[in-house]
Amino acid sequence: MSENALQYLLNRQSVKFVRAPGPDEHQLGLILQAGMSAPDHGKLRPWRFSLIRQDVMQSFADRLFATAAESETPIPAHKEENARRWLSEVPLLIAIACHRDHGNTKIPEIERQLAVGAAVMNMLNAAHMQGFGAFWSTGLGTYIDEVNEMLGFDPLDYRFMGYLAIGTPIDEVFPLTRPDHLQFVKEYRS
Ligand SMILES: Cc1cc2nc3c(=O)[nH]c(=O)nc-3n(C[C@H](O)[C@H](O)[C@H](O)COP(=O)(O)O)c2cc1C
């Protein structure tokens, strides 16, 4: 076992505020490929990703907030302002969806969503291991059907699961104290 790899897992933390440079094509390929080794019941490969790069970030934000404004759950002005400020620096967003695959009744949808979650976790780790900051957000209209459609993930066929923001941390990242795992573990006895 590589002690170094384990240290990366133990030290990972989310970093929301990131800026350019984001991952180059090779680094991004490694991040996405890490997602492919997530556990996946039935080999359904339910994960779907859409890359939103910095050159289209502003127009994405414009469409996102215009679409949300027309929906039943518009995004409040102060949240829009904060999100726009955040997005103005983010070099890469990866929109995440789970393919619902109505043809498959054998594997429950929750398991497919868990597989996508596991893929995203691998991607967070792969970003961290390459020195990037990354953050999973279910803001930005994740639960607005019209926004999902705008991104090409029609809610009839996909469960939209948010966005990964990836880039270079803007602020210094300090180590976090994590809870002791023993608080969450008990011993089964028969
Ligand atoms: C599915 C999912 C969605 C999340 N959405 C948000 C979000 O919209 N806004 C937010 O502030 N944090 C959100 N978080 C939490 C952050 O991604 C992050 O985990 C949190 O800030 C704690 O940081 P840590 O990962 O270093 O423990 C989400 C986490 C998960 C797993």
Asked whether residue 176 carries a pLDDT value surpassing 70, the answer given is yes
> Ligand 1 centre from 48 Cα, in Å?
19
CATH topology of domain 14-171: NADH Oxidase (3.40.109)
> Ligand 1 centre from 45 Cα, in Å?
23
**What is the average per-residue pLDDT within 110-138?**
98
Cα-Cα-Cα-Cα dihedral sign, residues 35, 167, 137, 73: negative
Average pLDDT over the chain reads: 97
132 ligand 1 Cβ < 6 A: no
> Ligand 1 centre from 28 Cα, in Å?
21
133 ligand 1 Cβ < 6 A: no
pLDDT (tens digit, 9 = 90+) per residue, 43-69? Answer: 999 999 999 999 999 999 999 999 999
pLDDT at 104: 85
Residues in the chain: 190
Asked whether residue 140 carries a pLDDT value surpassing 80, the answer given is yes
Cα three-residue angle 123-87-174, rounded to 5 degrees: 60
137 ligand 1 Cβ < 6 A: yes
Any idea where the domains of the chain sit in the sequence? 14-171
pLDDT (tens digit, 9 = 90+) per residue, 78-118? Answer: 999 999 999 999 999 999 999 998 888 899 999 999 999 99
Cα three-residue angle 23-5-110, rounded to 5 degrees: 75
Q: Whole-angstrom Cα distance, residue 159 to residue 165?
A: 19
pLDDT (tens digit, 9 = 90+) per residue, 67-76? Answer: 999 999 999 9
Cβ 179 vs Cβ 104: under 8 Å: no
Instruction: Give the closest residue (by CA) to ligand 1 atom 9.
Output: 137
Q: Whole-angstrom Cα distance, residue 106 to residue 9?
A: 33
pTM: 0.97
Instruction: Give the closest residue (by CA) to ligand 1 atom 10.
Output: 137
Q: Which of 96, 138, 142, 160 to mutate to test the pocket of ligand 1 (most atoms within 8 A of CB)?
A: 138
**What is the average per-residue pLDDT within 131-153?**
98
Asked whether residue 1 carries a pLDDT value surpassing 80, the answer given is no
First-to-last alpha carbon distance for the chain, in angstroms, is 32
**pLDDT over 90 percentage in the chain:** 96
pLDDT at 118: 98
pLDDT at 3: 81
> Ligand 1 centre from 3 Cα, in Å?
26
pLDDT at 170: 98
Between residues 1 and 8, the one the model is more confident about: 8
125 ligand 1 Cβ < 6 A: no
138 ligand 1 Cβ < 6 A: yes
